[in-house]
Structure 1
Amino acid sequence: MGKPKNNTQAKVVVNTSSVYELKTACDTGLKEFLRSRGYEEMHTHTDVKLILGYIGVVFCAIDFAYSWKYPFEQTKWFSYISVAIYALTSALALVYSYAVQRDTFFVGYNKAKGHVVSAGSRTKSGEDTYRLTLTTRPIRGRQDPPVFNSKPVELKQSFASWFHEDGEFASAKFNADVESAIDALLAKKSE
Protein backbone atom coordinates (compact mmCIF):
# COMPACT_ATOMS: atom_id res chain seq x y z
CA MET A 1 0.00 0.00 0.00
CA GLY A 2 1.38 3.39 -1.01
CA LYS A 3 1.22 6.59 0.93
CA PRO A 4 -1.63 8.94 0.04
CA LYS A 5 -0.53 11.96 -1.96
CA ASN A 6 -0.53 15.29 -0.22
CA ASN A 7 -2.24 17.80 -2.50
CA THR A 8 -1.33 20.85 -0.46
CA GLN A 9 1.29 23.11 -1.93
CA ALA A 10 4.48 23.73 -0.05
CA LYS A 11 4.74 27.10 1.64
CA VAL A 12 6.97 29.43 -0.40
CA VAL A 13 8.73 32.19 1.53
CA VAL A 14 11.13 34.63 -0.13
CA ASN A 15 13.15 37.69 0.79
CA THR A 16 10.80 40.56 -0.09
CA SER A 17 13.69 42.97 -0.61
CA SER A 18 15.08 40.84 -3.46
CA VAL A 19 13.29 41.47 -6.76
CA TYR A 20 15.08 38.44 -8.22
CA GLU A 21 13.60 36.11 -5.57
CA LEU A 22 10.14 37.64 -5.97
CA LYS A 23 10.26 37.23 -9.77
CA THR A 24 11.57 33.67 -9.51
CA ALA A 25 8.78 32.71 -7.09
CA CYS A 26 6.15 34.17 -9.46
CA ASP A 27 7.69 32.42 -12.49
CA THR A 28 7.73 29.10 -10.63
CA GLY A 29 4.16 29.66 -9.44
CA LEU A 30 3.02 30.27 -13.02
CA LYS A 31 4.74 27.11 -14.25
CA GLU A 32 3.03 25.06 -11.52
CA PHE A 33 -0.32 26.66 -12.29
CA LEU A 34 -0.09 25.93 -16.01
CA ARG A 35 1.04 22.34 -15.39
CA SER A 36 -1.93 21.85 -13.06
CA ARG A 37 -4.20 23.03 -15.91
CA GLY A 38 -2.93 20.35 -18.29
CA TYR A 39 -0.13 22.20 -20.09
CA GLU A 40 2.94 20.16 -20.95
CA GLU A 41 6.16 22.13 -21.09
CA MET A 42 8.04 22.34 -24.36
CA HIS A 43 11.82 22.62 -24.07
CA THR A 44 12.60 23.95 -27.54
CA HIS A 45 14.62 26.96 -26.34
CA THR A 46 16.74 24.83 -24.01
CA ASP A 47 17.21 22.14 -26.67
CA VAL A 48 18.49 24.63 -29.27
CA LYS A 49 21.03 26.09 -26.83
CA LEU A 50 22.12 22.62 -25.67
CA ILE A 51 22.65 21.40 -29.24
CA LEU A 52 24.77 24.44 -30.03
CA GLY A 53 26.79 23.89 -26.87
CA TYR A 54 27.28 20.18 -27.55
CA ILE A 55 28.50 20.87 -31.09
CA GLY A 56 31.21 23.19 -29.76
CA VAL A 57 32.21 20.79 -26.98
CA VAL A 58 32.37 17.79 -29.35
CA PHE A 59 34.75 19.63 -31.67
CA CYS A 60 36.94 20.61 -28.71
CA ALA A 61 36.93 17.00 -27.41
CA ILE A 62 37.96 15.71 -30.85
CA ASP A 63 40.70 18.34 -30.92
CA PHE A 64 41.90 17.24 -27.48
CA ALA A 65 42.04 13.58 -28.53
CA TYR A 66 43.77 14.45 -31.79
CA SER A 67 46.28 16.71 -30.01
CA TRP A 68 46.98 13.99 -27.44
CA LYS A 69 48.05 11.54 -30.13
CA TYR A 70 49.95 13.82 -32.54
CA PRO A 71 52.41 16.71 -32.05
CA PHE A 72 51.22 20.32 -31.97
CA GLU A 73 52.60 21.28 -35.38
CA GLN A 74 50.51 18.53 -36.96
CA THR A 75 47.28 19.39 -35.07
CA LYS A 76 47.33 23.17 -34.79
CA TRP A 77 45.14 23.65 -37.90
CA PHE A 78 42.41 21.52 -36.29
CA SER A 79 42.81 23.44 -33.02
CA TYR A 80 42.14 26.69 -34.87
CA ILE A 81 39.04 25.20 -36.46
CA SER A 82 37.68 23.71 -33.22
CA VAL A 83 38.20 26.95 -31.27
CA ALA A 84 36.47 28.89 -34.05
CA ILE A 85 33.53 26.45 -34.08
CA TYR A 86 33.27 26.62 -30.28
CA ALA A 87 33.26 30.43 -30.37
CA LEU A 88 30.69 30.47 -33.18
CA THR A 89 28.29 28.06 -31.45
CA SER A 90 28.62 29.99 -28.17
CA ALA A 91 27.87 33.25 -29.99
CA LEU A 92 24.89 31.67 -31.76
CA ALA A 93 23.50 30.45 -28.41
CA LEU A 94 23.87 33.97 -26.99
CA VAL A 95 22.17 35.56 -30.00
CA TYR A 96 19.37 32.97 -29.78
CA SER A 97 18.83 33.83 -26.10
CA TYR A 98 18.58 37.55 -26.75
CA ALA A 99 16.85 37.60 -30.14
CA VAL A 100 14.50 34.60 -30.03
CA GLN A 101 13.93 33.44 -26.45
CA ARG A 102 14.07 36.90 -24.87
CA ASP A 103 12.23 36.86 -21.53
CA THR A 104 10.23 33.68 -22.25
CA PHE A 105 10.51 31.20 -19.39
CA PHE A 106 7.64 28.81 -20.19
CA VAL A 107 6.21 27.41 -23.41
CA GLY A 108 3.57 24.75 -22.98
CA TYR A 109 0.92 23.03 -25.04
CA ASN A 110 -2.47 21.60 -24.23
CA LYS A 111 -3.49 18.96 -26.77
CA ALA A 112 -7.09 18.86 -25.56
CA LYS A 113 -7.55 22.59 -26.11
CA GLY A 114 -5.36 22.70 -29.22
CA HIS A 115 -3.03 25.56 -28.39
CA VAL A 116 0.40 26.58 -27.15
CA VAL A 117 0.85 29.22 -24.44
CA SER A 118 4.10 31.16 -24.02
CA ALA A 119 4.87 33.12 -20.86
CA GLY A 120 7.53 35.77 -20.47
CA SER A 121 8.25 37.94 -17.46
CA ARG A 122 10.40 40.90 -16.66
CA THR A 123 10.96 43.49 -13.98
CA LYS A 124 12.50 46.92 -14.18
CA SER A 125 15.30 47.97 -11.92
CA GLY A 126 14.06 49.91 -8.92
CA GLU A 127 10.40 48.94 -9.44
CA ASP A 128 8.26 46.55 -7.44
CA THR A 129 6.26 45.47 -10.50
CA TYR A 130 5.99 42.05 -12.13
CA ARG A 131 5.22 42.17 -15.84
CA LEU A 132 3.89 38.91 -17.25
CA THR A 133 3.23 38.60 -20.98
CA LEU A 134 1.13 35.68 -22.24
CA THR A 135 0.79 34.74 -25.89
CA THR A 136 -0.89 31.85 -27.64
CA ARG A 137 -0.97 30.10 -30.97
CA PRO A 138 -2.64 26.96 -32.31
CA ILE A 139 -0.65 23.72 -32.25
CA ARG A 140 1.15 23.32 -35.59
CA GLY A 141 -0.37 20.76 -37.90
CA ARG A 142 -3.73 20.68 -36.17
CA GLN A 143 -6.60 20.22 -38.65
CA ASP A 144 -9.14 22.35 -36.76
CA PRO A 145 -7.15 25.17 -35.14
CA PRO A 146 -9.19 27.26 -32.70
CA VAL A 147 -9.53 31.00 -33.26
CA PHE A 148 -7.73 33.09 -30.65
CA ASN A 149 -7.24 36.70 -29.84
CA SER A 150 -3.87 37.22 -31.52
CA LYS A 151 -2.82 40.04 -29.20
CA PRO A 152 -0.66 39.17 -26.20
CA VAL A 153 -2.10 39.78 -22.75
CA GLU A 154 0.04 41.60 -20.21
CA LEU A 155 -0.49 41.27 -16.48
CA LYS A 156 1.30 44.05 -14.62
CA GLN A 157 1.04 44.05 -10.87
CA SER A 158 2.99 44.92 -7.75
CA PHE A 159 4.69 42.04 -5.95
CA ALA A 160 3.04 43.25 -2.74
CA SER A 161 -0.34 41.97 -3.97
CA TRP A 162 0.99 38.38 -4.16
CA PHE A 163 3.29 38.28 -1.13
CA HIS A 164 2.54 38.71 2.56
CA GLU A 165 4.74 40.94 4.71
CA ASP A 166 6.73 37.93 5.95
CA GLY A 167 7.53 36.98 2.33
CA GLU A 168 5.05 34.13 1.99
CA PHE A 169 3.74 33.68 -1.55
CA ALA A 170 -0.07 34.05 -1.78
CA SER A 171 -0.49 31.42 -4.48
CA ALA A 172 -4.32 31.47 -4.43
CA LYS A 173 -4.40 35.20 -5.27
CA PHE A 174 -1.65 34.79 -7.87
CA ASN A 175 -3.44 31.83 -9.49
CA ALA A 176 -6.73 33.75 -9.64
CA ASP A 177 -5.05 36.70 -11.38
CA VAL A 178 -3.22 34.42 -13.81
CA GLU A 179 -6.38 32.45 -14.57
CA SER A 180 -8.27 35.62 -15.49
CA ALA A 181 -5.36 36.68 -17.74
CA ILE A 182 -5.34 33.28 -19.47
CA ASP A 183 -9.12 33.42 -19.92
CA ALA A 184 -8.74 36.81 -21.59
CA LEU A 185 -5.95 35.43 -23.77
CA LEU A 186 -7.97 32.43 -24.93
CA ALA A 187 -11.19 34.36 -25.56
CA LYS A 188 -12.32 34.06 -29.16
CA LYS A 189 -12.30 37.12 -31.35
CA SER A 190 -15.54 39.02 -31.17
CA GLU A 191 -15.50 39.87 -34.87
Structure 2
Amino acid sequence: MSNTTMQEEIKINKYDSTQLKHTVDDHLRKYLTSDANYVENHQHMDVKLSLGYLSCLFAAAATYYEWKNGFQKAKPVTLICVASYFVINFIAWVYAYFIEKQDVFVGTKDGATLKISARLARLSETYTLDFHFTDGKKKGNYTLESSFGKWFNEDGVLVTSVLEADVKSAIERSTISKEQ
Protein backbone atom coordinates (compact mmCIF):
# COMPACT_ATOMS: atom_id res chain seq x y z
CA MET A 1 0.00 0.00 0.00
CA SER A 2 1.38 3.39 -0.93
CA ASN A 3 1.86 6.30 1.45
CA THR A 4 -0.62 8.43 -0.46
CA THR A 5 -3.44 5.88 -0.21
CA MET A 6 -3.26 6.02 3.61
CA GLN A 7 -4.39 9.64 3.59
CA GLU A 8 -7.99 10.70 3.90
CA GLU A 9 -10.12 10.46 0.80
CA ILE A 10 -10.18 13.28 -1.71
CA LYS A 11 -13.75 14.20 -2.63
CA ILE A 12 -14.68 16.82 -5.23
CA ASN A 13 -17.51 17.85 -7.54
CA LYS A 14 -17.28 15.17 -10.23
CA TYR A 15 -19.04 17.43 -12.77
CA ASP A 16 -16.35 20.13 -12.68
CA SER A 17 -13.60 19.22 -15.15
CA THR A 18 -11.26 21.88 -13.74
CA GLN A 19 -11.50 20.37 -10.26
CA LEU A 20 -11.01 16.89 -11.71
CA LYS A 21 -7.87 17.98 -13.59
CA HIS A 22 -6.33 19.82 -10.64
CA THR A 23 -7.06 16.95 -8.26
CA VAL A 24 -5.39 14.44 -10.58
CA ASP A 25 -2.41 16.78 -11.16
CA ASP A 26 -1.94 17.38 -7.43
CA HIS A 27 -2.15 13.69 -6.56
CA LEU A 28 0.17 12.84 -9.45
CA ARG A 29 2.84 15.17 -8.01
CA LYS A 30 2.32 13.81 -4.52
CA TYR A 31 2.58 10.20 -5.71
CA LEU A 32 5.69 10.79 -7.81
CA THR A 33 7.58 12.63 -5.05
CA SER A 34 6.60 10.43 -2.11
CA ASP A 35 6.04 6.91 -3.46
CA ALA A 36 8.02 6.88 -6.71
CA ASN A 37 10.91 8.88 -5.14
CA TYR A 38 11.25 11.49 -7.87
CA VAL A 39 12.72 14.87 -6.94
CA GLU A 40 10.51 17.56 -8.43
CA ASN A 41 12.14 20.35 -10.42
CA HIS A 42 10.49 23.63 -9.43
CA GLN A 43 12.04 25.78 -12.19
CA HIS A 44 8.71 26.73 -13.79
CA MET A 45 7.21 27.73 -10.46
CA ASP A 46 10.36 29.63 -9.45
CA VAL A 47 10.37 31.68 -12.66
CA LYS A 48 6.67 32.53 -12.41
CA LEU A 49 6.95 33.42 -8.71
CA SER A 50 10.01 35.61 -9.36
CA LEU A 51 8.21 37.48 -12.13
CA GLY A 52 5.14 37.87 -9.91
CA TYR A 53 7.20 39.23 -7.01
CA LEU A 54 9.00 41.62 -9.38
CA SER A 55 5.70 42.97 -10.69
CA CYS A 56 4.51 43.44 -7.08
CA LEU A 57 7.70 45.38 -6.32
CA PHE A 58 6.89 47.79 -9.14
CA ALA A 59 3.36 48.23 -7.76
CA ALA A 60 4.74 48.81 -4.26
CA ALA A 61 7.37 51.27 -5.53
CA ALA A 62 4.72 53.30 -7.35
CA THR A 63 2.52 53.37 -4.26
CA TYR A 64 5.36 54.38 -1.97
CA TYR A 65 6.63 57.10 -4.34
CA GLU A 66 3.14 58.56 -4.68
CA TRP A 67 2.58 58.46 -0.91
CA LYS A 68 5.85 60.36 -0.31
CA ASN A 69 5.58 62.88 -3.16
CA GLY A 70 1.90 63.35 -3.94
CA PHE A 71 -0.20 62.33 -6.89
CA GLN A 72 0.77 65.05 -9.38
CA LYS A 73 4.52 64.68 -8.89
CA ALA A 74 4.30 60.87 -8.98
CA LYS A 75 2.43 60.57 -12.29
CA PRO A 76 5.54 59.82 -14.46
CA VAL A 77 6.90 57.28 -11.95
CA THR A 78 3.46 55.68 -11.61
CA LEU A 79 3.16 55.44 -15.39
CA ILE A 80 6.57 53.73 -15.65
CA CYS A 81 5.71 51.33 -12.81
CA VAL A 82 2.29 50.46 -14.25
CA ALA A 83 3.80 49.86 -17.69
CA SER A 84 6.54 47.71 -16.13
CA TYR A 85 3.92 45.75 -14.20
CA PHE A 86 2.07 44.89 -17.41
CA VAL A 87 5.29 44.05 -19.30
CA ILE A 88 6.42 41.67 -16.55
CA ASN A 89 3.01 39.99 -16.44
CA PHE A 90 3.11 39.64 -20.23
CA ILE A 91 6.55 37.98 -19.92
CA ALA A 92 5.06 35.61 -17.30
CA TRP A 93 2.25 34.73 -19.71
CA VAL A 94 4.72 34.13 -22.56
CA TYR A 95 6.81 31.90 -20.28
CA ALA A 96 3.77 29.88 -19.20
CA TYR A 97 2.40 29.53 -22.75
CA PHE A 98 5.58 28.86 -24.74
CA ILE A 99 8.07 27.37 -22.27
CA GLU A 100 6.12 25.72 -19.45
CA LYS A 101 3.34 24.72 -21.84
CA GLN A 102 1.20 22.02 -20.27
CA ASP A 103 3.80 20.50 -17.97
CA VAL A 104 2.31 19.23 -14.71
CA PHE A 105 5.46 17.51 -13.43
CA VAL A 106 9.18 17.59 -14.13
CA GLY A 107 11.38 15.49 -11.90
CA THR A 108 14.55 13.46 -11.66
CA LYS A 109 15.43 10.09 -10.20
CA ASP A 110 18.82 8.39 -10.42
CA GLY A 111 19.98 10.83 -13.10
CA ALA A 112 16.92 10.27 -15.29
CA THR A 113 14.35 12.96 -16.05
CA LEU A 114 10.62 12.42 -16.22
CA LYS A 115 8.40 15.14 -17.68
CA ILE A 116 4.63 14.80 -17.71
CA SER A 117 2.42 17.06 -19.78
CA ALA A 118 -1.36 17.09 -19.60
CA ARG A 119 -4.15 17.89 -22.01
CA LEU A 120 -7.87 18.17 -21.43
CA ALA A 121 -10.07 19.04 -24.37
CA ARG A 122 -12.96 21.38 -23.69
CA LEU A 123 -16.15 19.54 -22.73
CA SER A 124 -14.33 16.21 -22.62
CA GLU A 125 -13.82 13.78 -19.79
CA THR A 126 -10.80 12.19 -21.45
CA TYR A 127 -7.61 13.33 -19.77
CA THR A 128 -4.36 12.83 -21.65
CA LEU A 129 -1.01 12.55 -19.87
CA ASP A 130 2.15 12.49 -21.99
CA PHE A 131 5.13 10.88 -20.25
CA HIS A 132 8.60 11.84 -21.57
CA PHE A 133 11.53 9.94 -20.08
CA THR A 134 15.18 10.86 -20.70
CA ASP A 135 18.25 9.09 -19.33
CA GLY A 136 21.46 9.95 -21.17
CA LYS A 137 21.16 8.34 -24.60
CA LYS A 138 17.88 6.65 -23.80
CA LYS A 139 14.54 8.30 -24.48
CA GLY A 140 11.03 7.06 -24.07
CA ASN A 141 7.55 8.46 -24.56
CA TYR A 142 4.17 7.13 -23.63
CA THR A 143 0.69 8.66 -23.77
CA LEU A 144 -1.91 7.71 -21.19
CA GLU A 145 -5.49 8.55 -22.06
CA SER A 146 -8.15 7.89 -19.48
CA SER A 147 -11.61 8.94 -18.50
CA PHE A 148 -12.00 10.75 -15.21
CA GLY A 149 -14.73 8.20 -14.51
CA LYS A 150 -12.03 5.55 -14.15
CA TRP A 151 -10.17 7.54 -11.46
CA PHE A 152 -13.18 8.91 -9.54
CA ASN A 153 -16.07 6.92 -8.09
CA GLU A 154 -19.76 7.87 -8.27
CA ASP A 155 -19.44 10.09 -5.19
CA GLY A 156 -16.57 12.13 -6.67
CA VAL A 157 -13.91 10.45 -4.53
CA LEU A 158 -10.50 9.96 -6.14
CA VAL A 159 -9.65 6.24 -6.34
CA THR A 160 -5.94 6.69 -5.72
CA SER A 161 -5.02 3.04 -6.22
CA VAL A 162 -6.35 3.04 -9.81
CA LEU A 163 -4.68 6.37 -10.68
CA GLU A 164 -1.38 5.29 -9.15
CA ALA A 165 -1.46 1.95 -10.98
CA ASP A 166 -2.06 3.74 -14.30
CA VAL A 167 0.75 6.22 -13.62
CA LYS A 168 3.17 3.48 -12.56
CA SER A 169 2.38 1.50 -15.73
CA ALA A 170 2.81 4.61 -17.90
CA ILE A 171 6.19 5.36 -16.32
CA GLU A 172 7.34 1.78 -16.93
CA ARG A 173 6.22 1.97 -20.56
CA SER A 174 7.90 5.35 -21.09
CA THR A 175 11.20 4.15 -19.62
CA ILE A 176 11.59 1.40 -22.22
CA SER A 177 14.79 2.58 -23.87
CA LYS A 178 14.81 3.90 -27.38
CA GLU A 179 18.25 4.82 -28.70
CA GLN A 180 18.49 8.36 -30.08
CA distance in 1: counterparts of 2:177 and 2:68, whole angstroms: 64
Pick one of 114, 117, 123 that aligns with 1:117.
114
Measure how far apart 1:24 and its partner are. 2.2
In structure 2, runs of 5+ residues without a counterpart are none
Larger radius of gyration between Structure 1 and Structure 2: 1
Who is 1:165 aligned against? 154
Contact 2:137/2:179 (<8 A) preserved: no
| TM-score when normalising by structure 2 | 0.85
Who is 1:148 aligned against? 138
Who is 1:132 aligned against? 129
Measure how far apart 1:7 and its partner are. 7.3
Counterpart amino acid of residue 90 in structure 1: N
Equivalent residue of 2:115, what SS?
strand
Who is 1:143 aligned against? none
CA distance in 2: counterparts of 1:149 and 1:131, whole angstroms: 20
Equivalent residue of 2:139, what SS?
coil
Identity %: 32
* Cα shift readout 1:85-133 (whole Å, capped 9, x = no counterpart): 11100111111111111221222222xx212222222211222211111
* Cα shift readout 1:130-187 (whole Å, capped 9, x = no counterpart): 111122335xxxxxxx33225x321001122222222232221221111111011112
Who is 1:61 aligned against? 60
Shift in CA distance, 115/190, structure 1 to aligned 2, threshold 3 Å: closer
Counting only pairs closer than 5 Å after superposition, residues 42-57 of structure 1 correspond to structure 2 as 42-57=41-56
Counting only pairs closer than 5 Å after superposition, residues 31-110 of structure 1 correspond to structure 2 as 31-35=29-33, 36-110=35-109
Shift in CA distance, 52/82, structure 1 to aligned 2, threshold 3 Å: same
| TM-score when normalising by structure 1 | 0.81
Shift in CA distance, 57/164, structure 1 to aligned 2, threshold 3 Å: closer
Pick one of 9, 14, 23 that aligns with 2:7.
9
Shift in CA distance, 180/83, structure 1 to aligned 2, threshold 3 Å: same
Larger deviation, residues 9-18 vs 155-164: 9-18
Who is 1:178 aligned against? 167
Structure number with the higher helix fraction is: 2
In structure 1, runs of 5+ residues without a counterpart are 139-145
Structure number with the higher strand fraction is: 2
Counterpart amino acid of residue 38 in structure 1: N
Contact 1:148/1:185 (<8 A) preserved: no
Q: Kindly report structure 1 stretches of 4+ aligned residues shifted beyond 4 Å.
A: none
